[in-house]
């Protein structure tokens, strides 16, 4: 900026070697700056600015980490039989009137079924296109891992979901290494066709 270069011209004695200060404008004059009687260190603005910026960035990082914290502890060592027991009890629970969890889980199950169907359809369409970059870098999608029913079909669907990039299925892929890189979507969403699917997915996302 021309004005800024003029300031540099006035304060710099290195006129020739790195003369970025060559433009001079008569309508913009700065007087010389006196450095007498400084109370604080002369680079205090520089130091203060950079320290403030660093503090702000670190603070922002901690806030974001808190926001992405999901809360419950690890369930790393769940045995398969244990899982099956849990699934059976879940199915059994359907008969009993329960709290909102059950209602919600049923809703999720219904939605998951329709989502799975839609996902499977989309998966077939995407098969060829995605072969090139079907990497564990599903880094660009948010996925929802739906609750599997006790039927094998759904486990298959789940596997399909984990393998393919389907940005419109919101899926928290816990076992993958991508973590919350998921939010940073760089794959294009898929054109959907079924209206019922739209409704169910809208319910999930809104």
Partner 1 sequence: KNISDFSLNVTDCTQVVVPEEVFFTVAAAGILENLLVLIAVVRNKNLHLPMYFFICSLAISDMLGSLYKTLENIFIILCKMGYLTRRGDFEKKLDDAMDSMFILSLLGSIFSLLAIAADRYITIFYALRYHNIMTLRRALAILAIIWTFCAGSSIAIALFSYEAATVIPFTILFPLMMFFILCLYIHMFLLARSHAKKIASLPTSTVHQRTNMKGAITLTIFLGVFLCCWAPFVLHILLARFCPHNPYCACYMSIFHVNGTLIMCNAIIDPMIFAFRSPELRCTFKKMFCCSR
Nearest distance from C-beta of residue 22 to partner 1, angstroms: 5
Residue 105 zone, left/alpha/beta (φ > 0; ψ -120 to 50; rest): alpha
Q: How far is CA 73 from the centre of its chain?
A: 21
Rounded to 10 degrees, the C-alpha dihedral 146/149/151/152 comes to: 30
Q: Which is nearer to partner 1, 25 or 124 (CB)?
A: 25
DSSP state of 180: G
Q: Which of residues 63-102 bind partner 1 (CB under 8 A)?
A: 63-65, 67-76, 78, 83, 86-87, 89-90, 93, 101
3-state secondary structure of 89: helix
Contact track, partner 1, 16-55, x by CB under 8 A? xxxxxxxxxx--x-xxxxxxx-x-x-xxxxx--x---x--
Nearest distance from C-beta of residue 123 to partner 1, angstroms: 17
Distance CA 113, CA 86 (A): 19
Q: Which of residues 131-160 bind partner 1 (CB under 8 A)?
A: 132-133, 135, 137, 139-140, 142, 144-148
DSSP state of 192: P
Nearest distance from C-beta of residue 124 to partner 1, angstroms: 18
Nearest distance from C-beta of residue 112 to partner 1, angstroms: 10
Q: Which of residues 109-128 bind partner 1 (CB under 8 A)?
A: none
């Amino acid at each position: 900026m021309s004005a800024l270069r003029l300031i540099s011209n006035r304060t710099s004695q290195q006129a020739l070697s790195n003369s970025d200060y060559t433009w001079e404008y008569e309508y913009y004059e700065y007087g010389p700056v006196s450095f007498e009687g400084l109370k604080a260190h002369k680079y205090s603005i520089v130091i203060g600015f950079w320290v403030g910026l660093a503090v702000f960035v670190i603070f922002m990082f901690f806030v974001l980490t808190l926001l992405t914290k999901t809360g419950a502890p690890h369930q790393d060592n769940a045995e398969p039989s244990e899982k099956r027991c849990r699934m059976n009890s879940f199915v059994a629970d359907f008969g009993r009137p329960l709290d909102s969890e059950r209602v919600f889980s049923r809703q999720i199950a219904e939605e998951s079924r329709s989502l799975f169907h839609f996902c499977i359809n989309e998966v077939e369409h995407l098969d060829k296109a995605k072969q090139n970059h079907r990497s564990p870098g599903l880094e660009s999608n948010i996925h929802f891992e739906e609750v599997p029913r006790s039927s094998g079909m759904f486990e298959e669907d789940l596997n399909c979901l984990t393998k393919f990039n389907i940005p419109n299925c919101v899926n928290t892929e816990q076992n993958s290494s991508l973590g919350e890189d998921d939010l940073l979507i760089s794959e294009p969403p898929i054109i959907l066709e079924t209206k019922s699917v739209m409704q169910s997915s809208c319910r999930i996302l809104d």
